[in-house]
Amino acid sequence: MRPTTLASQSAVLNPAVLYTVLLVLGLLAPFTLYPTFLMKVLCFALFASAFNLLLGFAGLLSFGHAAFLGSAGYVCGLMVRDLGVTPEVGILAGTVVAGLMGWVFGSLAIRRTGIYFAMITLALAQMVYFLVLQIKATGGEDGLQGVPRGHLFGIVDLSDNMAMYYTVYAVFCLGFFIIYRTIHSPFGQILKAIRENEPRAISLGYDVDKFKLLAFVISAALSGTAGATKTLVFQLASLSDVHWHMSGEVVLMTLLGGLGTILGPAVGGATIVTIQNQLADSVGSWVTVIMGAIFVVCVLLFRRGIVGEIQALLKRAGMQ
Amino acid sequence: MEIFGIPSALLGSQLLIGLINGSFYAILSLGLAIIFGLLNIINFAHGAQYMMGAFIAWLALTKFGINYWVALIATPIIVGAFGVLLERTMLRKLYKLDHLYGLLLTFGIALIIEGIFRDQFGISGQSYDVPELLSGGVNLGFMFLPIYRGWIIVAALTVCFGTWFMIERTKLGAYLRAGTENSQMVQALGINVPLLITFTYGYGVALAAFAGVLAAPVFQVNPLMGSHLIIVVFAVVVIGGMGSIMGSIVTGLGLGLIEGLTKVFYPEASSVIVFVIMVIVLLVRPAGLFGKA
């Protein structure tokens, strides 16, 4: 009675079927839902998935991922607005800068483990926040405004919401595919080994620090992709994207959706964005309280998250 | 009188502000270190609890006319009791799990506390009058010293060294140190470790609230006052390492002073200098100045 064989008999659990259904749903979604909302969901889903690569699969809690999201947003915004480059170059530039920052942050943070790792990333991100606040080019408190969406490859006009949506969707799918491939590669397996038992991974001859650093760089770069794309969608890079609240939010999205599951962070991201959109007008500052309460409930009672719980339920159903 | 081309009054006043900030860093990082030592969690709610201290003192004065001195004693007890409640109802359930869950839980609690205060009081700061006994100042010849600012340093250092004495020189402190080394062994020897843990968390939280009351007359009392400070204190903790009580105190004060000096010589960098020092320390001595590897 191997649960895996049983699971593969169930159509819902067959990954190929599941991902095809999701892919089609993503293509059809803007016909029923507001595209700008969907684009926001996709950006945060990618951000959370990138974050999960680090926390869920390498076991490293970064509390500074807002720095990558936000900085890439500013880089992309400045390049598109002031240098007049095309949107895809802007996104690429944001990704590269975030990846480089990830390399610097990662090299420093992996010198310590556990709680110190989290505190170091948080402190480094706070430094980035202050720099962004003080540098003139970033517009300080006002953020970077009036970023044009431009023409993709110089041809497709992205000021059309549908064109923008499918661009964002393509970026998301590409990013998600990279994360999926990373997790299912030998590299991903070694990350899991490090997460489960670091001394043992070292004794097996793996250069643990190198693997952690590479995971950190990939995660940071893809967070940057999400941030740069978000800047194009909203035509704005704001200070709140580099604020530590954002670093906390991505942790929450990942935790709520399901730590270490592949689809969990995307589900968590969509859920949090929806909650925030629904509540922002009606409850004002209570949004923070509600986010905090979700955090507490997740940690105390719901550690597997939405997708984790569903997987556990299906597994139990398959066993019977 | 000038030192390095800087008027001594300016240098003196910035050093004083640095010393005051350093006193707050010291008390807060001390609380974090004590909690971390026994509970193995980093208390993200520390900043929110510091803010609660300041707000309760302010509410007590403006709504009930309770004076500063009563608030200075009562507020840490109230907030400490709140901490005890948190430990008994929530934190306790997480000790067997990965330490990171403690960080996440206290982060959630910090968001809740901050959100509630923001809803109730808005984000504009409230001012708290300096108590009459400590108002005014003295001229030290090279600079003017407001008495309250001197008091902050004295009170903070007294509490820090009192805590150091309690931990290093008393029976209770011996239990605590033993519990930090090996809590199972201490439990086996008949010490009530769960109670010790509860007390420790409550004490660490009370320290944060005490710092909050001290801060009320010099900083604006505002719901976000703790969240920025706590991130700097995290950097202080990374620099000092959480291994030693005295290390926390010395690192906190030292970094406050360095920050003050930066304000004089290169003001643009003053908000990031602590983080820059953290980076240097991580490169040179990753375990922290007083930490064990």
Which pLDDT score is estimated for B243? 72
Q: Do A127 and B237 touch (CB under 8 A)?
A: no
pLDDT digits (tens, 9 = 90+) for A266-301: 999 999 999 888 887 777 778 888 889 988 998 898
Tens digit of each residue's pLDDT (9 = 90 or more) over B116-167: 998 888 878 888 888 877 777 777 777 778 888 889 999 999 999 999 999 8
For CA atoms B75, B77, B81, B87, give the dihedral sign: positive
CA distance A89 to A81: 12
pLDDT of residue A84: 83
Burial-class residue B123 by CB neighbours within 10 Å (0-12, 13-18, 19+).
Answer: exposed
Q: Is the dihedral of CA B242, B245, B248, B251 positive or negative?
A: negative
Q: What is the pLDDT of residue B3?
A: 66
B100, B112, B278: residue with CB nearest A289:
B112
Residues paired with residue A157 on neighbouring β-strands, in sequence order: A151
Q: Which two tokens stand for residue A219?
A: 């995660």
pLDDT at A8 over 80: no
**pLDDT above 90 as % of chain B:** 32
Q: Please list the alpha-helical segments (H only) found in chain B.
A: 8-39, 46-64, 68-89, 99-121, 147-169, 171-181, 183-188, 193-215, 225-240, 245-265, 273-284
Is pLDDT at A1 greater than 70 in this prediction?
no
pLDDT value of position A4: 44
pLDDT at A231 over 80: yes
Does this model's pTM top 0.95? My answer is: no
Confidence class of residue A43 from pLDDT cuts 50, 70 and 90? very high
Q: Report whether A171 contacts A91 (CB < 8 A).
A: yes
**DSSP assignment, residue A82?**
H
**Contact status, residue A66 vs residue A244, Cβ threshold 8 Å:** yes
Interchain CB contact of A120 with B (< 8 Å):
yes
**CB-based contact B277:B255 (threshold 8 Å):** yes
**Helical (H) or strand (E) element with A152:** strand A151-152
> How close does chain B come to A130, measured CA to CA in Å?
7
* Residue A6 scores a pLDDT above 50: no
Of A174, A182, A176, the residue nearest A92 (C-alpha): A174
The first and second tokens of residue A220, run together, are 């940071």
**Cα separation values, A218 from A77, A188, A311, B291, Å:** 21, 12, 26, 31
**Per the structure, how many domains does chain B have?**
1
User: Is residue B202, in this structure, part of any structural domain at all?
Assistant: yes
* Among A116, A247, A275, the residue to mutate for chain B (most B Cβ within 10 A): A116
pLDDT tens for B27-61 read 999 999 888 888 888 899 999 999 999 999 999 88
Is residue B292 very low, low, confident or very high in pLDDT (cuts 50, 70, 90)? low
Burial annotation A211-237 (CB, 10 A radius, 16+ → b, else e): bbbbbbbbbbbbbbbbbbbbbbbbbbb
Residues B61-106 have pLDDT tens digits of 888 888 889 989 999 999 999 999 999 999 888 888 888 888 899 9
Q: What is the pLDDT of residue A3?
A: 45
Contact flag B103-A115 (C-beta cutoff 8 Å): yes
Query: B222, B126 in Cβ contact below 8 A?
Result: yes
Please indicate if any CB of chain B lies within 8 Å of the CB of A153.
no
Residues of B in contact with A298 (CB under 8 A): 104, 108
Is pLDDT of A21 > 60?
A: yes
Would the pLDDT of A28 be above 90? Answer: no
Residue B289 lies in a domain: no
* CA nearest neighbour of A62 among A119, A124, A129, A118: A118
Assess whether pLDDT exceeds 70 at residue B239: yes
A interface test, pick of B36, B222, B238 with most A CB neighbours within 10 Å: B238
Question: DSSP per residue over A232-277, as a string?
Answer: HHHTEE-GGGTSHHHHHHHHHHHHHH-TT-SSHHHHHHHHHHHHHH
Closest CA to B207 of B28, B2, B3: B28
Domain ranges of chain A: 34-244
**Cβ(A56)–Cβ(A256) below 8 Å:** no
Residue B76, pLDDT score? 94
Angle between helices B8-39 and B245-265 (to 10 degrees): 150
CA distance B211 to B225: 12
CB–CB contacts below 8 A, A to B: 121
